[in-house]
Amino acid sequence: MDILNLNAEQKLVHIAASIGRDPLSWRGWQCLHVILGEMDEALEQDCLLWTRSIVESYLRGVEGRVYYCDNGDIHVLCRDVNEDILHQAGTQICDLVFSESAVRATFCIYNLVREGQGYADVVLKSASSTLFPSESEENSPSGPDHVSDRLLPAQDGGSYRPKPSRVDEMRVLLVEDDPVTRWMVRNALRDTCHFVTAPSAHKAFAMYSSFDPDIVFLDINLPDQSGHTVLEWIMRNDPGAYVVMFSSDNNMDNIASALEDGAQGFISKPFLKEQLLHYMQGLS
């Protein structure tokens, strides 16, 4: 399991914003959140080594990632782990930190489907206070969506894209090679929008240029090129684009890479109609 400490907080913001927008796509995922007390830089490095040792001991071979943030918080995002194991790992980290440094640490465990919105709120507000320490709490926007607007990188360039006033005016492009998934999405969005599909990356480039969609649902695994390549092309040519990634393989590398490259969210397969409409309604 990778442990990130360089720019970890900014990278975690992308993940937390996605969790807050669509917790259902994080089925099976949990977060062990360890809150450390104030400590000096040398002790922070020791805590990083201790955390790595305990995580490797308790979560060896588990899908996930550890974010060691500048404020000392540790976020262990992992999939399909028994909560008792996470509780033992959190207890061991806190006990070891206190034993070696007398610094008291606490932890909590989030189920990212049931408690994803609350977790996103905690992460984004914490990052806001860390990255904008001079701003008073009274003047800071509240809620995950407002905070993430300030923390996520601004999209430069591109032409202004007016938002459709209603979902039924929206132009939706689905880039998906599987005919069954194309049928399911078309059926789910029937009579709710202007809808077109592209079965490959090559078709997606042409369709995006001619159709000028308001929102793109983009599969990561395409037959000719990766969905990441299509996403990079879209963001390079239209930095204001609104792209949501599809994939049946919701591993952390896929999710983090897509969000860092400019995707607005991530929907894991199998999906619900409500997940599609959630993103569309948020855009209108």
Structure tokens at 278: 């959630």
38 Rama sector, left if φ>0, alpha if ψ -120 to 50, beta otherwise: beta
- Say whether both 124 and 232 belong to one domain: no
- Say whether both 143 and 178 belong to one domain: no
104, exposed or middle or buried, with CB in 10 Å at 0-12, 13-18, 19+? exposed
User: What residue has token string 């492009």?
Assistant: 173
> Quick one: pLDDT at residue 160?
52
- Say whether both 176 and 258 belong to one domain: yes
Residues 13 and 25: their CA atoms lie apart, in Å, by 17
Domain count, the chain: 2
Mind listing the pLDDT tens digit of every residue in the chain (284 residues)? 788 888 888 889 989 988 988 888 888 999 999 998 777 788 888 888 888 899 889 998 899 999 998 888 899 999 999 999 999 999 999 999 888 888 888 999 999 999 999 999 999 988 876 655 554 444 444 444 545 554 554 444 444 556 665 667 789 999 999 999 999 999 988 888 899 999 999 999 999 999 999 999 999 989 999 999 999 999 999 988 999 998 877 778 888 888 888 999 888 888 888 889 888 887 76
- CATH code, 125: 3.30.70.600
On whether residue 158 sits in a domain, the answer given is no
Q: Is 239 helix (H, G, I), strand (E, B) or coil?
A: coil
- Say whether both 206 and 98 belong to one domain: no
- Say whether both 11 and 93 belong to one domain: yes
- Say whether both 121 and 240 belong to one domain: no
Of the residues 151, 177, 208, the one at which a domain ends: 151
> Quick one: pLDDT at residue 237?
92
On whether residue 159 sits in a domain, the answer given is no
- Say whether both 41 and 113 belong to one domain: yes
Structure tokens at 142: 């509240």
- Say whether both 25 and 130 belong to one domain: yes
Of the residues 107, 126, 151, the one at which a domain ends: 151
On whether residue 156 sits in a domain, the answer given is no
DSSP codes joined into one string, 27-68: TTEEEEEEE-----HHHHHHHHHHHHHHHHHHSTT-SEEEEE
153, exposed or middle or buried, with CB in 10 Å at 0-12, 13-18, 19+? exposed
- CATH code, 233: 3.40.50.2300
- Say whether both 8 and 96 belong to one domain: yes
Non-local CB neighbours of 186 within 8 Å, separated by 6+ positions: 174, 195, 197
- Say whether both 116 and 188 belong to one domain: no
Domain that holds residue 252: 167-283
Q: Is the C-alpha dihedral spanning 199, 181, 194, 256 positive or negative?
A: negative
- Say whether both 38 and 139 belong to one domain: yes
- Say whether both 138 and 59 belong to one domain: yes
Of the residues 99, 120, 151, the one at which a domain ends: 151
On whether residue 141 sits in a domain, the answer given is yes
> Quick one: pLDDT at residue 87?
96
